[in-house]
Amino acid sequence: MTELKNDTYLRALLRQPVDYTPVWMMRQAGRYLPEYREVRKGAGDFMSVCRDADLACEVTIQPLRRFPLDAAILFSDILTIPDAMGLGLYFETGEGPKFERPITCKADIDKIGIPDPEGELQYVMNAVRTIKKTLNGDVPLIGFSGSPWTLATYMIEGGSSKAFTKIKKMMFAEPQTLHLLLDKLADSVILYLNAQIAAGAQSVMVFDTWGGVLSPRDYKEFSLQYMAKIVDGLTRHNDGRKVPVTLFTKNAGMWLEDIAATGCDAVGLDWTIDIENAKARIGDKVALQGNMDPSMLYAPLPRIEQEVSKILSGFGEGGTGHVFNLGHGIHPDVNPDHAGHFIESVHRLSKPYHL
């Protein structure tokens, strides 16, 4: 077993006693850090950083040099799987990710294969191995993937979308065609995350960024059932310890019970639900991750501290089973000093809840 100097994050996910509430931030390695911007500028573009194990390791470690975070998260992108399927991922300045060859019909789906994690996606596994070695047991390493539904939205829309008309047209007009794609993506995510675990990831997370654009019935059919399939297919023990699984759907407050019933270890919360309500509903079944509004980091430092205190209080006494995080990714123009104060406040203010 790899010895960890700080396993607070893993213990909290498993609802075991901890001395304080652990904290990390979605997109903690990113554009708000000047040192990250320097690396990206030198590499030329985002995917060049992802594909270079040493650069991916460097930017993964950067926030840990600044802040006493309780976990590192692999520096990568949720669209690595569709890229490996041959759809031609590229990034346009100010417009986000795009695909040269989006999915338009069943014939397109039949053409794509399930990527080999140690083939087309070996650069991700090389990054995991490099980061794990460099961390040297300081904190756990989180691996991740996009959810099948979220990946499918980009693959069918050809990039980001506001109305999701193309994928919803397929969903309602040709549901079995969409299910073929989602099933293929679920199989791909299972292989991909299990390979990350084998390479050294000690926890994994599935990001369902766009599940919240679905109706309750469609969410269960087209998003949640495929995340449940992933949970069932994952390696749950490795290197002598349990590998916790976190599911995160943005705008999922109405579905918390259904998400918790998948067998995951933790449910990620965005900022649109009160954590006290979430704990009352599912806190005896799973750990909770979240859930401060990322925009709160623009506030004066005393206001940030006040919000941290409110969320800790909402989770309540005992405190076990809570991983503090933002409700989504940190914004690129946030002052790093504000992020540092946020992290320090979580550690300091949470200790009384764990006595």
pLDDT of residue 4: 96
pLDDT of residue 317: 81
CATH number given to 8-354: 3.20.20.210
Active site residue 281: no
Give me the mean pLDDT over the 264-290 stretch. Answer: 97
Angle at 320 between CA 216 and CA 318, to 5 degrees: 115
Give me the mean pLDDT over the 303-308 stretch. Answer: 98
Catalytic residue among 40, 66, 101, 236: 40
pLDDT of residue 147: 98
Catalytic residue among 66, 77, 101, 293: 77
pLDDT of residue 1: 86
Give me the mean pLDDT over the 347-354 stretch. Answer: 96
d(CA 129, CA 198): 9
Give the DSSP H or E segment for 133. Answer: helix 122-135
> Quick one: tokens of 46?
């985002």
Contact 209, 150 (CB under 8 A): yes
Residue 91 has pLDDT above 90, yes or no: no
Burial label, 122 (beta-carbon count in 10 A; 0-12, 13-18, 19+): middle
pLDDT digits (tens, 9 = 90+) for 150-195: 999 999 999 999 999 999 999 999 999 999 999 999 999 999 999 9
- Binding region: 27-31, 77, 154, 209, 328
Give me the mean pLDDT over the 241-255 stretch. Answer: 97
* The model's pTM: 0.97
Domain spans in the chain, listed from the N-terminal domain onward:
8-354
Active site residue 232: no
Residue 12 has pLDDT above 80, yes or no: yes
Active site residue 77: yes
Residue 132 has pLDDT above 80, yes or no: yes
Give me the mean pLDDT over the 227-248 stretch. Answer: 97
Residue 51 has pLDDT above 80, yes or no: yes
Give the confidence band of 109 by pLDDT, cuts at 50, 70, 90: very high
Active site residue 52: no
Catalytic residue among 7, 9, 11, 27: 27
